[in-house]
């Protein structure tokens, strides 16, 4: 009998005696990893005795389909017909190959291989390959979904923090102006659209999974089949995954952000004071600076997106010109203005985006130089942007990158300390690129290329790191380039689809995507106009985030502003000083982020992973491990329910008032007193008036 078992183990043969179901193959081990497998292809991978990944019968498939793609205003619709999936149904073996464990399933037409190998502490490389299925478009990976499985992450998400039960695509796109799925418009998005998706999730039990791909990826998180989740990148070649084995969420974040990156810190001034959004030219800038100083606002920077000029988009919406140099009519002596501001300790920040529009000065030289993305026939690829049309700079062309960076260098020479490097999600899937690469794959890489082009110029001009790069888009590895990321173009409303309530899910999910320094537009960008109450509540939220910055929004003449009346100015000044008081803590958390991968703004499960009540919370966040922030995001509310995890919590506005956690409490929350609790008794914020 011993001889038979030894032979079975050596050959990966059947050793189960149960004839009614799949038979178990010999367990394969490598270091702390063990692979149990069965004759139908199902498997369970354990790390140090914990199951970290399991698959059903025939876990890999080859998906083929006919697809029609439509795009409009930076969003894409991928409609599929004739969808079919081939999976092996024959013999399965589990073997060792050096330090790797290999699960191989064969069938009449399809062979699949899963190869597991530990490549670093906490990181298991999983290679998935399907062969013999003829032409197919996507590799589908089926994994078991047990009752306790939870899915945090998938990049920046706005309407949920835990995604079990959802099915959605991962593909950088315009978020959309308005995301109400019941009232769509040509400009609106939906609950799946995001500028910054990432094919990674974290399970708070202490493991995570990333798909190392640039391909559009569809995920189904126990929605179609409650017993399994699927990851399906449009990649017929071998797919590499990274399985993060923990055992804690901190271990997962540390290992995951080796691949994803950890966003670098902006200079201290960018955290210590407010970035005030101002438009209108030198007189408007000087007036805002004077008013801020008179109100005791700790002012760090003026952010003037209109340094490139303004554009009237109609119906009261005012935007900017799509160009990369100063509008001399709007700012006749910008260098002098910047010098004046710097002498008073205030920096000047601007705006750029990658669009090339025929009516502006960049378009003709871009076409002549071959710097614009083209159709297959070589003609410029243009598309509707908003009320105008244009194309994109081709960043796969080194000459085009250098051409853009010449403008970036000139902006820095004027004295700009950085700018918003806007957009990056609009590369057409069927464009022709200078380097011959597949635009469908380059689409996901384009945001990082756009950001890196600016960052390179900034680092040349300021090797000491005294610059700000503000971005919104991204994909896998984006945190290797990103610095400060803002939550995008929320509506200046209370809408749960796209207004103030969506900011918190966006910020905490960016943290899971490796971004330490996050921010948002106070108080929204599109829609509106914003109201006084909305502005006051938005400021209260933003004061507890790494960067406090305002935006005048599209309806700038109608939107409420920090200096619209005396009460608002006092409120804004107070919470700006609250933010300044938190700045040393924020910068220390930024150092922790660079060392460990843990974000500054944290979803509650990162701090309380064993508390299942925290998993789906969308209206609270942690600043580090100590402060729990529960902003008011409902119009008219003066109280709110707050879930406090187990432990003792102190009200930061009345430090002698404490609550025992492990339950939901309802607290008073008038304007000026957003619910914020500390795990340690602190009085520094209560003194700020």
d(CA 138, CA 83): 11
Question: Given this model, what pLDDT does residue 618 score?
Answer: 98
The total of other beta-carbon atoms located within 10 Å of residue 381's CB is 21
Mean pLDDT, consecutive 10-residue stretches, the chain (689 aa), reads 30 38 94 97 97 97 96 94 95 97 93 98 98 94 98 98 98 91 86 97 98 98 98 98 98 98 98 98 98 98 97 84 96 98 98 96 97 98 93 98 98 98 97 98 98 98 98 98 97 96 98 98 94 98 98 94 98 98 98 98 98 98 98 98 98 94 98 97 83
The verdict on whether omega for the bond into residue 278 sits within 30 degrees of 0, i.e. cis, is no
Contact 539, 571 (CB under 8 A): yes
Q: Which two tokens stand for residue 442?
A: 């380059």
Alpha helices (H) along 555-644: 566-596, 604-607
Local structure of residue 549 (DSSP, 8 states): B
Quote the pLDDT of residue 133. Answer: 81
H or E segment to which residue 33 belongs: strand 33-37
Extract the runs of DSSP E, i.e. beta strands, from 427-479: 468-471
257 closest CA partner among 585, 47, 511: 511
Question: Residue 203: what are its φ and ψ, rounded to 5°?
Answer: -100, 125
Residue 319, burial from CB neighbour count under 10 angstroms (0-12, 13-18, 19+) = middle
Residue 398's nearest CA partner among 390, 409, 389, 406 is: 406
| pTM (predicted TM-score) | 0.95
Q: How many CA atoms lie within 13 A of 227 on its CB side?
A: 4
Say how many Å lie between the first and final Cα of the chain, rounded.
81
How buried is residue 673: exposed, middle or buried, by Cβ count under 10 Å (0-12/13-18/19+)? Answer: middle
Surface-to-core class of residue 64, CB atoms within 10 Å of its CB (0-12 exposed, 13-18 middle, 19+ buried): middle
Residue 592, Cβ neighbours under 10 Å: how many?
Answer: 16
The number of residues making up the chain comes to 689
Distance of CA 188 to the CA centre of its chain: 19
Torsion of CA 145, 150, 154, 157, to 10 degrees: 130
Number of helices and strands in the chain (H, E): 12, 38
Alpha helices, DSSP H only, in 224-333? Answer: 249-260, 268-272, 282-294
Residues annotated as part of the active site: 422, 425, 489
Whether the Cβ atoms of residue 222 and residue 229 lie closer than 8 Å to each other: yes
Residue 556 contacts residue 311 (beta carbons within 8 Å): no
Tally Cβ neighbours within 10 Å of residue 426.
26
CA distance 204 to 552: 38
Give the H/E segment covering residue 6.
Answer: helix 2-11
| CA gap 37, 114 in Å, rounded | 11
The whole-angstrom separation of Cα 473 and Cα 191 is: 16
- Closest by CA to 153, choosing from 144, 162, 145, is 162
Angle value at C-alpha 562, between 559 and 566, nearest 5 degrees: 115
């Amino acid at each position: 009998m011993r001889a038979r078992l030894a032979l079975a183990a050596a050959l990966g043969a059947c050793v189960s005696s149960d004839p009614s179901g799949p038979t178990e193959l010999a367990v394969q081990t490598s270091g702390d990893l063990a692979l149990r497998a069965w004759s139908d292809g199902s498997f369970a991978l354990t790390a140090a005795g914990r199951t970290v990944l399991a698959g059903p019968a025939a876990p890999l498939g080859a998906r083929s389909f006919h697809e029609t793609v439509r795009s409009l205003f930076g969003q894409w619709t991928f409609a599929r017909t004739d969808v079919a999936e081939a999976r092996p149904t024959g013999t399965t073996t589990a073997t060792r190959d050096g330090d790797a464990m290999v699960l191989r399933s064969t069938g009449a037409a399809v062979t699949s291989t899963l190869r597991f190998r530990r490549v670093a502490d906490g990181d298991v490389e999983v290679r998935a390959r399907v062969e013999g299925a003829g032409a197919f478009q996507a590799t589908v990976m089926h994994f078991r979904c047990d009752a306790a499985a939870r899915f945090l992450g998938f990049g920046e998400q706005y309407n949920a923090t835990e995604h079990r039960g959802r099915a959605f695509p991962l593909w950088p796109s315009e978020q959309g102006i308005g995301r109400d799925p019941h009232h769509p418009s040509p400009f609106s998005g939906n609950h799946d659209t995001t500028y910054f998706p990432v094919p990674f999730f974290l399970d708070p039990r202490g493991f995570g999974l990333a798909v190392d791909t640039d391909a559009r990826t569809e995920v189904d998180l126990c929605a179609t089949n409650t017993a399994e989740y699927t990851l399906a990148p449009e990649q017929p070649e071998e797919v590499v995954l990274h399985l993060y084995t923990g055992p804690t969420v901190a271990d997962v974040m540390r290992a995951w952000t080796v691949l994803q990156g950890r966003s670098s810190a902006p200079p201290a001034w960018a955290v210590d004071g407010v970035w005030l959004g101002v438009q209108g030219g030198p007189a408007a800038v000087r007036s805002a600076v004077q008013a801020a100083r008179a109100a005791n606002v700790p002012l760090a920077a003026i952010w003037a997106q209109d340094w490139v000029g303004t554009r009237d988009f109609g119906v009261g919406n005012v935007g900017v010109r799509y160009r990369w140099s100063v509008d001399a009519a709007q700012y006749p002596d910008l260098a002098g203005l910047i010098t004046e501001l710097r002498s008073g300790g205030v920096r000047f920040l601007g705006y750029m985006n990658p669009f090339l529009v025929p009516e502006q000065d960049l378009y003709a030289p871009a076409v002549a130089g071959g710097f614009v993305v083209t159709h297959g026939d070589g003609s410029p690829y243009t598309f509707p942007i908003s009320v105008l049309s244009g194309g994109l700079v081709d960043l796969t062309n080194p000459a085009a990158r250098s051409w853009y960076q010449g403008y970036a260098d000139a902006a820095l020479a004027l004295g700009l300390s950085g700018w918003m490097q806007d957009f990056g999600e609009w590369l057409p899937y069927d464009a022709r690129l200078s380097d011959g690469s597949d635009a469908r794959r380059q689409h996901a890489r384009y945001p990082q290329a756009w950001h890196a082009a600016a960052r390179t110029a900034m680092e040349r001009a300021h090797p000491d790191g005294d610059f700000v790069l503000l971005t919104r888009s991204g994909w896998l590895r984006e945190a290797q380039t990103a610095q400060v990321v803002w939550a995008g173009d929320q509506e200046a409303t209370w809408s749960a689809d796209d207004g103030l309530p969506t900011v918190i899910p966006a910020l905490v999910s960016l943290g899971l995507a490796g971004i330490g320094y996050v921010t948002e537009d106070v108080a929204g960008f599109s829609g509106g106009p914003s109201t006084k109450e909305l502005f006051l509540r938005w400021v209260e939220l933003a004061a507890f985030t790494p960067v406090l910055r305002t935006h005048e929004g599209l309806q700038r003449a109608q939107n409420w502003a920090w200096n619209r009346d005396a009460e608002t100015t006092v409120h804004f000044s107070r919470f700006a000083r609250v933010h300044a008081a938190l700045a040393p803590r924020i910068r220390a958390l930024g150092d922790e982020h660079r060392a460990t991968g843990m974000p500054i703004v944290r979803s509650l499960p990162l701090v309380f992973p064993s508390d299942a009540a925290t998993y789906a919370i969308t209206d609270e966040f942690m600043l580090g491990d100590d402060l729990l922030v529960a902003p008011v995001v409902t119009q008219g509310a003066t109280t709110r329910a707050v879930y406090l995890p187990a432990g003792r919590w102190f009200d930061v506005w009345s430090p002698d008032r404490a609550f025992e956690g492990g339950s939901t409490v309802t607290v008073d929350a008038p304007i000026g007193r957003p619910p914020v609790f500390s795990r340690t008794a602190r009085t520094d914020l209560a003194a700020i008036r």
